[in-house]
Amino acid sequence: MLALAVLLGGCSAAGRSAPSPSDAGSDPAPTAAPQAEGQAELSAACTTFWGDPEYADPLSRTVLARAASAPEVGPSDPDFFALTGDEIETAFEGAPASAQGTAGDLAEWFRIEPVRGAEADLDAFRSAWEGLAGSCQAVSTAALWAVAPGEDGTKPAALVCADVFDTPGTLTHFANANVLTSNMFKLVGLSPRAVPAGREQDLRDTADLLAAQIAAVDDEAVRSALAQVRAPFQDALEGETWSDGLSGPLTELGAACEAIGYSSPGTGEVDHDPVLGASAEDQHGTNHGGRS
């Protein structure tokens, strides 16, 4: 708004002399009310979709989970996925036209692609997802981080906790609807286990994903706990074939997340200690839980 005021002022100075009092009375200065109203409506829509700042149970997580299940389930239940498109458009029905447009692109994916089953274009989903994130990045921190990584040490710990415990891995290297914790269990175990052979790339990609979260998070306790979660993956890459499991590290991370106020939609139990992570399954059997 400051830049707009300067620009308008410059145009006035260049194009005409200063107005007389009578001119000022007949030609009132424009107000910022329409722009402010549009920004408020954009913020409301984007908050509904991305969940800032609590990230408790945003629509974005439902959208990710259903996109991941679309190739398998889409042909047998296309109406269900079409309704997902309706939910997206409803969330943005009061937003400015540009955001409605990008929301419409994402909604249209759910009407067209799931019925194609294994041929569903997940690259097109990613593109539409990033387009909507771009429309929201000025008012949503989650959308901003969905567009591109920000500066180290600036990602809200609550968002990091949500990404680890409750966000489907649709757009990660796992490319499924399971949350990160559930996917990690299959590599290094919840309880002690042998690390499966032939999974070096998954181990490396998971270690890299966790390293990125460690660098990004703005809370030292969450950062330290994440380093312990990452340790079994790094050990495996260095040749250790036995893992002590993630029960202890994830309990510590859960406590750190609770300390900064992140409340997971569901709670699992590991060795009688609470570990954050949604445990409910959607009607198509997708595991959103912290346990495999």
Decide: residue 21, CB within 10 A, 0-12 exposed, 13-18 middle, 19+ buried.
Answer: exposed
Of 86, 115, 148, the residue at which a domain comes to its end is: 148
- At residue 70, the pLDDT reads 97
Mean pLDDT of 130-147: 98
Residues 154 and 291 in one domain: yes
Question: pLDDT category, 148, cuts 50, 70, 90?
Answer: very high
Mean pLDDT of 3-32: 39
Residues 102 and 178 in one domain: no
**Could you tell me if 261 and 139 are in contact, meaning their C-beta atoms sit under 8 angstroms apart?**
no
Question: pLDDT category, 107, cuts 50, 70, 90?
Answer: very high
Mean pLDDT of 138-167: 97
Mean pLDDT of 150-158: 98
- At residue 36, the pLDDT reads 59
**Could you tell me if 282 and 80 are in contact, meaning their C-beta atoms sit under 8 angstroms apart?**
no
Spatial distance between the Cα atoms of 166 and 265, rounded to a whole number of angstroms: 8
Say if 260 falls within a structural domain.
yes
Mean pLDDT of 226-246: 97
Weakest mean pLDDT among 58-67, 237-246, 268-277: 268-277
**Beta strand ranges found along 133-292 (DSSP E):** 193-194, 242-243, 267-270, 273-276
Q: 97-112 and 33-50 are packed helices; what angle lies between their axes, rounded to 10 degrees?
A: 30
Residues 161 and 103 in one domain: no
pLDDT over 90 for what percent of the chain? Answer: 77
Mean pLDDT of 224-253: 97
Beta-bridge partners for 267: 276
Domain interval for residue 240? 150-292
Spatial distance between the Cα atoms of 202 and 208, rounded to a whole number of angstroms: 10
Residues 163 and 71 in one domain: no
- At residue 38, the pLDDT reads 87
Predicted confidence (pLDDT) at residue 29 exceeds the cutoff of 90: no
Of 133, 148, 163, the residue at which a domain comes to its end is: 148
Mean pLDDT of 90-109: 98
**Could you tell me if 278 and 254 are in contact, meaning their C-beta atoms sit under 8 angstroms apart?**
no
Number of domains in the chain: 2
Predicted confidence (pLDDT) at residue 280 exceeds the cutoff of 50: no
- At residue 101, the pLDDT reads 98
- At residue 137, the pLDDT reads 97
Q: Nearest 5°: CA angle at 64, between 62 and 66? A: 70
Of 148, 169, 192, the residue at which a domain comes to its end is: 148
Mean pLDDT of 49-68: 97
Question: pLDDT category, 2, cuts 50, 70, 90?
Answer: very low
Spatial distance between the Cα atoms of 228 and 135, rounded to a whole number of angstroms: 36
Question: pLDDT category, 25, cuts 50, 70, 90?
Answer: very low
Residues 189 and 230 in one domain: yes
Predicted confidence (pLDDT) at residue 144 exceeds the cutoff of 60: yes
Say if 20 falls within a structural domain.
no
Say if 31 falls within a structural domain.
no
Say if 263 falls within a structural domain.
yes
Spatial distance between the Cα atoms of 274 and 286, rounded to a whole number of angstroms: 22
Residue 258 zone, left/alpha/beta (φ > 0; ψ -120 to 50; rest): alpha
- At residue 207, the pLDDT reads 98
Say if 173 falls within a structural domain.
yes
- At residue 223, the pLDDT reads 98
Residues 129 and 178 in one domain: no
- At residue 263, the pLDDT reads 86
Say if 137 falls within a structural domain.
yes
- At residue 221, the pLDDT reads 98
Residues 125 and 207 in one domain: no
Predicted confidence (pLDDT) at residue 170 exceeds the cutoff of 50: yes
- At residue 37, the pLDDT reads 64
